[in-house]
Structure 1
Amino acid sequence: MKRFLLSCLLSSAIALPAVGALPEGHPAPDFQTQASLAGKAFSYSLQDALKKGPVVVYFYPSAYTGGCNIQAHTFAVNYDKFTAAGASIIGVSLDSIDRLNEFSADPEFCGGKVAVASDIDGNIAKTYDLTIRDAAPGKKDTRGVDINHGFAERTTFIVKPDGKIAATLTGLKPAENVEKSLEIVQQLAAAK
C-alpha cells in the first residue's frame, strides 16, 4: 500500500506543470530600462515598443557566452523577417550597459540590428518569474573577460500589442528559440 501511495504521489508530481516563467495569456510586465543598439545606449520602454506591434522579449544569461552569442547572431540574421512580420526584438540580460554597448555593435553577434537591455539588478527577470543564478567566481566570457553578474534563465516571451503573452519559450537551444519565435510572430501577422 505504501508503495502504491508513493507511486501515485510521484506520478502526480511528474505530471504537474513546472513552476516558472509567466505563461501564455498572462499580462507581460511593463519595464523601462537602459538598452543599447549598435553600440549606443538609449531608454527602452516595452509599453512604447508594443504601440508598434508584437515584441519578442528574450532573456539570456550573458553577452559573450556560447549560447547567447549564437542566439543574438541568429536574431540578427533573421532581423528583417521579424520586422516584415511587424515585430521588434529586445534581448534582456543582467549585463551592464557598457558590456551591452560592445555586444550590440559587434558584427559577430547583434550586428547593430538587435537591441539588448540591461537588467543589472535582475528585477525585470524576476517580474517575468525567471530564475536568477549567481555568477560562479572566476567565470569568463568567450573573450576571456570576467563575468561579474548573475544569469537569468534563457526564456523568450512573444508579447502581443495588447500586452498579453502570446507564447513563452523555454528549454530550446538558442537557434531553435529564434526559429520558434519567428514562426509565432509570422502566425500573429497572418492572423491579422
Structure 2
Amino acid sequence: MGLKIGDKAPAFKLKNQNGEVIYAGEYLGNTPLIIYFYPKNFTPGCTAQACSFRDQYQDFLEAGAKVFGISSDSVESHKRFREKHHLPFDTLADKSNSVRRRYGVKGNLLGLIPGRETFVIDKDGVIQMKFNSMAASQHIPKALEVVKSF
C-alpha cells in the first residue's frame, strides 16, 4: 500500500557514496527532508533529475531541508555518479530495495523499472508530499514549493 501524506516517515540506515552509514532518524523529527527514489544512476532521466536537484540545492538549503537521493545502485556507482555530476547531496545505496519497499515505492512498466517517487517530510517527521511520476523534471519544483511552505 505504501505511505500516505500525514504518515510518519520511517527511519532507515543506508550507506552513502563514501560508504558512510547515514541514519535518517538523526534528521526525522527536527529537519525537513526531501527523499527521492530514482531508478538508476547514469540513465538520462535520473541524471536530469539529480542535476535539477543539484541546480536548486541552494533553494532547498535556504528552506532548511536536507536532500537524499536513493537507488539500488552500489556505493561505488553512487560515488562515480555524484562526482561526475558534482552533486552536493548524499546519494544512498538501497541494494536490497528494503527502504524502497518500506516507503511503498512501486516499480513502473509491470515492475521492471524501479519507480521514481519524491517524499517531502516536515521537521516533525510527517510526510507532507508524495509525488510519483517518471517525468523527472516535475519532482523538483513540486518538492521546493512544499518545503518552502513550512
Equivalent in the alignment of 2:50: 72
Which structure has the larger Rg? 1
SS in 2 for 1:117: strand
Equivalent in the alignment of 1:17: none
Equivalent in the alignment of 2:104: 129
Amino acid at match of 2:140: V
On the 8 A contact 2:115/2:134 being kept in 1, the answer is no
C-alpha change, 1:51 and 1:23, in structure 2 (3 Å) is: closer
Greater relative contact order (CA < 8 Å, ≥ 6 in sequence): 2
The count of aligned residue pairs is: 148
Equivalent in the alignment of 2:95: 120
Equivalent in the alignment of 1:42: 20
**Identity over aligned pairs, percent:** 27
C-alpha change, 1:22 and 1:182, in structure 2 (3 Å) is: same
Which blocks of at least 5 consecutive residues in structure 1 are unaligned? 1-19, 134-149
On the 8 A contact 2:9/2:28 being kept in 1, the answer is no
Q: Normalising by structure 2, report the TM-score.
A: 0.90
Q: Normalising by structure 1, report the TM-score.
A: 0.72
Which blocks of at least 5 consecutive residues in structure 2 are unaligned? none
Matching of residues 73-88 of structure 1 within 5 Å: 73-88=51-66
Please state if 1:158 is matched with 2:133: no
Superposed displacement of residue 171, structure 1: 2.2
On the 8 A contact 1:35/1:116 being kept in 2, the answer is yes
Query: 2: distance between equivalents of 1:156 and 1:61?
Result: 12
Name segments (4+ residues, structure 1) moved above 3 Å: none
Query: 2: distance between equivalents of 1:172 and 1:159?
Result: 20
Equivalent in the alignment of 2:5: 24
